Amino acid sequence: MSQFITELDFRMKEGSDSIYILNKPLVYYSSYLKGKGFNPLVHAPAEFNTDLASVPRVPIIYAMWGGRCHREAVVHDLFFRKDSTPNVSFSVANWVFLEAMKCRGKPFYIRHPMYLGVCCGSLPYYHKRLVGDKL
């Protein structure tokens, strides 16, 4: 069963209002990854830089979906780094994001629009940075 093994512990990056730094590793177990033959344990390391979920600041959109899936977004951001372990495809990264939202109990009307959002809007950012890059 998919689950987060550790809690999310982060701080805002000094001088930024949209970048966060993990204080401790975030560990997630993915049944989906296991079924695809990958190591199912995902480790986002301490000091990993993330923007969490990049929901557009359009008022109604942000009110509905902003600030809802921080843990899940960290795992997704990790998979978007070209040296992530495991190194997964764009579609697998998005599926794990959806799986993580479901395992955290996010309702259908939250998880599916967010999943569609990453499928439609995140391709230009896939495998552009390294895990250790500072945003």
Residue 94, Ramachandran bin (φ over 0: left; ψ between -120 and 50: alpha; else beta): alpha
Is pLDDT at 57 greater than 60 in this prediction?
no
* Percentage of residues of the chain with pLDDT beyond 90: 71
CA distance 99 to 118: 13
Would you state the pLDDT for residue 59? 54
Q: Out of 15-19, 30-34, 39-43, 97-101, which region has the weakest mean confidence (pLDDT)?
A: 15-19
Indicate the pLDDT class of residue 60, thresholds 50, 70 and 90. Answer: low
Q: Out of 63-67, 87-91, 98-102, which region has the weakest mean confidence (pLDDT)?
A: 63-67
Is pLDDT at 58 greater than 60 in this prediction?
no
**Stretch 41-61: mean pLDDT, rounded?**
79
Would you state the pLDDT for residue 101? 95
CA distances from 93 to 41, 42, 83, 86 (A): 14, 11, 13, 10
Alpha-carbon torsion (13, 56, 85, 25), positive or negative: positive
Would you state the pLDDT for residue 66? 58
Counting DSSP H helices and E strands in the chain, the numbers are 5, 6
CA distance 109 to 95: 16
Give pTM, 2 decimals.
0.90
